[in-house]
Amino acid sequence: MHTVTANGVTIPALGFGTFRIPGSDVLKIVPHALKLGFRHVDTAQIYGNEAEVGEAIVTSGIQRRDIFLTTKVWVENYKREAFLKSVDESLAKLKTDYVDLLLLHWPNDKVSLAEQISALNDVKEAGKVRHIGVSNFTTALMAEARALSKAPLVTNQIEYHPYINQDVVIAAAKAADMSVTGYFGMADGKVFSDPVLKDIGANHGKTVAQVVLRWLVQQDGIIALSKTVSEARVAENLAIFDLNLSRDEMAAIHALAKADGRIVSPDGLAPSWDKVA
C-alpha cells in the first residue's frame, strides 16, 4: 500500500471511508475491505456507525495495530468536558483503547479554537490518540490551529475531487509538512459521466473511479478516501497502484476544476472558504 508521510507519521494513502454507510452495511463491507488489503479506515462521531466500525475491525481478523483508524469529534462536543467524554465514548464504540488519528470535524467559533486544540493535545498526551489533525479548515484556521498546538497536526481533511481547485490549501499543508485527506473524490457521482475521465480510463483499461483515486494519490501528500458498499468495487478501488497517469493526463484532470465546484458547504458549519489564487 502506497503511503504518505506527514510530520513524521506514515499514513496509508488510500483509505476506506464510511460516511453515509449504514451500520448494517459497515459490518459487511469493512471486514471485506480489510481482508482485501485496505489498512486505513475513516469514520466520525456524527456518522453514527463507530460501533459497527469497531465490530467490523474485530471480526475482520486483521490485527488492530495494522490498521490506521481515524475518527472525528463533532462540533457540539468541542467544550472541554464534552470533548473528553466524547472521545472516551468513541473509543468504547470502536472497541479500542486508541485511535491513530483524531480530527476536529468542522470549525466551530462558538468554542475557542484554543480550547479545542488544547483538548486534542490532552487526549493525545493521555495515549488515547496517536496523532491529531483537522477537517474542513481554511488556511487561516490551519495556521491558527498549528500555532496553538503542542503536537504537530498531520492532516486537513477536505473536499477534493476533479471539479474543485484546492491548490491554496494543499500548498499551505505542504509548507507545514501536513497531508491533505480528500473526501468526496467522486464529486457525489458527477465524475462518472465525465468524458475526459472516461477517455483516460479507456486508455488505461481502468474505470473512472480508479482514474480519480489514482489522480488523488499520485499527487504528493494527498490521501484519498474511497467509499463503496459493493464488494467488487472494493477490489477495483484497491487496483490503482499499477496505474500511472501521465503529466498531460494529470493536467487534464486538474483542468476540470470550476469556480463553483464545491459541493459540501453546509450552513452553520462552513467557514469563509479560501479563494483560489
CB distance 102 to 87 below 8 Å? yes
Distance (Å, rounded) from C-alpha 238 to C-alpha 233? 9
**47 classed as catalytic:** yes
Q: Please report the pLDDT score of residue 18 as a whole number.
A: 98
Taking the CA atoms of residue 100, residue 106, residue 108 and residue 113 in that order, the dihedral angle to the nearest 10 degrees is 40
Q: Which one is catalytic: 47, 78, 160, 183?
A: 47
| Residue 64 pLDDT | 98
Kindly report, residue by residue over 231-260, the tens digit of the pLDDT: 999 999 999 999 999 999 999 999 999 999
Q: What distances in angstroms separate CA 1 from CA 6, 61, 82, 179, 244, one per listed residue? A: 16, 18, 36, 17, 15
* Residue 186 φ/ψ region, left for φ over 0, alpha for ψ in the -120 to 50 degree band, beta for the rest: alpha
The answer on whether 105 is annotated among ligand-binding residues is: yes
What tens digit of pLDDT does each residue of 67-99 get? 999 999 999 999 999 999 999 999 999 999 999
Q: What is the pLDDT of residues 21-76, one digit of tens each?
A: 999 999 999 999 999 999 999 999 999 999 999 999 999 999 999 999 999 999 99
pLDDT of amino acid 276: 87
pLDDT over 90 at 1, yes or no: no
Which residue's C-alpha cell is 493526463?
249
How big is the chain by its Cα radius of gyration, in Å?
A: 18
Could you give all domains of the chain from N- to C-terminal order, each with its CATH number?
3-188+217-244 (3.20.20.100)
- pLDDT-derived band at 108, boundaries 50, 70, 90: very high
Q: Is the pLDDT of residue 16 over 70?
A: yes
Checking if the pLDDT of 4 tops 90, the result is yes
Report, in this order, helix, strand and coil percent for the chain, each rounded to 5. 45, 20, 35
Mean pLDDT (the chain, rounded): 98
Give the pTM. Answer: 0.98
Please state whether beta strands 3-6 and 40-42 pair in parallel, antiparallel, or not at all (unpaired): unpaired
Q: Report whether pLDDT(277) > 80.
A: no
pLDDT digits (tens, 9 = 90+) for 128-175: 999 999 999 999 999 999 999 999 999 999 999 999 999 999 999 999
